[in-house]
Amino acid sequence: PVSLKDRLAELIPKEIENVKAVRAEHGKKAFGPVLVDQLYGQVLTSVLSRLPALIWDGSVLDPGSSFTRLFFLSAHPRSPEEGIRFRGKTIPEIQAELPKAPGGSEPLPEGLFWLLVTGEIPTQEQVAELSRDWAARAAIPEFVEEILDRCPPTLHPMSQFSLAVTALNHNSAFAKAYQDGISKKDYWGPTFEDAMDLIAKLPNIAGRIYRNVFAKGKLPSIDASKDYSHNLAALLGFGDDPAFVELLRLYITIHSDHEGGNVSAHTGKLVGSALSDPFLAYGAALNGLAGPLHGLANQEVLIWLRKMQSKLGDDPSDEAVKEYIWSTLKAGQVVPGYGHAVLRKTDPRYTAQREFALKHLPDDKMFKLVGQIYNLVPDILLEAGKAKNPWPNVDAHSGVLLTHYGLDQMSFYTVLFGVSRAFGVAAQLIWDRALGAPLERPKSYSTAAIQKMFAGK
């Protein structure tokens, strides 16, 4: 064939056969800490998720499985099976200990950021100062507003989000300091300024995307006397609903960080390791978050639930729901919101959202459906026999809460996840520059090299 694509289509089946043969012959042979097979098949999840490869103190995940417990307990002697800990604290602990807004009962994400950066629980005054600082930094350059206003409303909100965040690099303190010859030991200072600017500007970006894409009118301005989540809610048009503001405080807190190795956090770290500034690094991280196996899953869950509701009605029987779940699997699709690369139990972020729903919206029909699905999916995934973790993750629940308060444009959900995940990535970038984290550059091998290396062994 003369066309490149046609030639490639001929080569692919041959290479699939070649890889199969190499795996059959050498797959069980050890190559450094992994088996050859794992380089092709599972190294990215089952091996890499256990291979010590990164340092990040902000949060650590206890997988909660007996398989990894032995290794994990030696590193974390007091760690039970509870999933995420932010600087050693579980979600219920941070809910109890972090400062709240006046009259509120959910933690302020400002406090979580202070905790991620310092390892300390901040005072009410420290948190109020962060709210003020972020409000003062919140404006975005006019040319970024214009970029967003020129995006067609059909461009996915996550693509718009990453465009705008990347463009903020125009005013990066780190990029400028680097050009001016800053010494290595001082990197963290301008990185800190960029990290603060990044977080501070996200509500204006998210609000503008929401209003442009869903024709929701003009953005109000930031209120310097209000906390971050209140301002974000107001920019989205929900500032008068105290329950929604509380939901955002919880949402931003629990989505902020999930160790250093998940796709978005790790992308931010990897790109930052080239000394790309925090805006470039986080723009890249957002593109990873936009994938359906990662942050986009919250959109996918809602689409899946809506389809189920329209097919089965509001009060479906367990039998009908089971059949629907099986039909998803039989169609070769994943059940969105279930499974995890590291966790081996119900995600405590799911549980925190379920508790919020039990308190604020116990009779919501879709919340009830989510609960019904929770009782059915794990057994089905176990019976199907592939997923290592049949339990729900954070994304199985978030969309239902947002929908309840009227934010039912599901293509926007991952943007909220992206506002929150910036807290973890920003904190990590500051520490990476402070500690002089190295350039990340894993070694890759060709199949031919593997064949040669193991021939006759």
The residues binding ligand AMX (CB under 6 A) are 45-46, 262, 293-295, 297, 329, 334-341, 386-389, 393-395
Q: Is 197 a catalytic residue?
A: no
Report the nearest approach of ligand AMX to the CB of residue 117 (Å). Answer: 23
Which CB atom, from 294 or from 433, has the smaller least distance to ligand AMX?
294
**Which residue lies nearer to ligand AMX by CB, 38 or 262?**
262
In the complex, minimum distance from the CB of residue 239 to ligand AMX, in angstroms, rounded to a whole number: 27
| Contact (CB, 8 A) for 228 and 203 | yes
Choose, from 230, 258, 266, 340, the residue flagged as catalytic: 340
Q: 26, 156, 230, 294: which one is catalytic?
A: 294
Contact 106, 95 (CB under 8 A): yes
The residue among 89 and 294 lying less far from ligand AMX, judged by its C-beta, is: 294
Task: Report which residue's Cβ sits closest to ligand AMX.
Answer: 339
Is 397 or 433 the residue whose CB approaches ligand AMX more closely? 397
Cβ proximity to ligand AMX, 200 vs 206, nearer residue: 206
Say if residue 312 is exposed, middle or buried (CB neighbours under 10 Å; 0-12, 13-18, 19+). middle
Per annotation, catalytic residue among 395, 397, 404, 432: 395
The minimum distance between CB 9 and ligand AMX, in angstroms, equals: 22
Q: How far is the CB of 234 from ligand AMX (least distance, A)?
A: 27
Q: What is the closest distance, in whole angstroms, from the C-beta atom of residue 292 to ligand AMX in the complex?
A: 7
- 360 a catalytic residue: no
Minimum distance of ligand AMX from residue 418's CB (angstroms): 11
Closest to ligand AMX by CB, 64 vs 295, is 295
Q: In the annotation, is 340 catalytic? A: yes
Catalytically active residues are 294, 340, 395
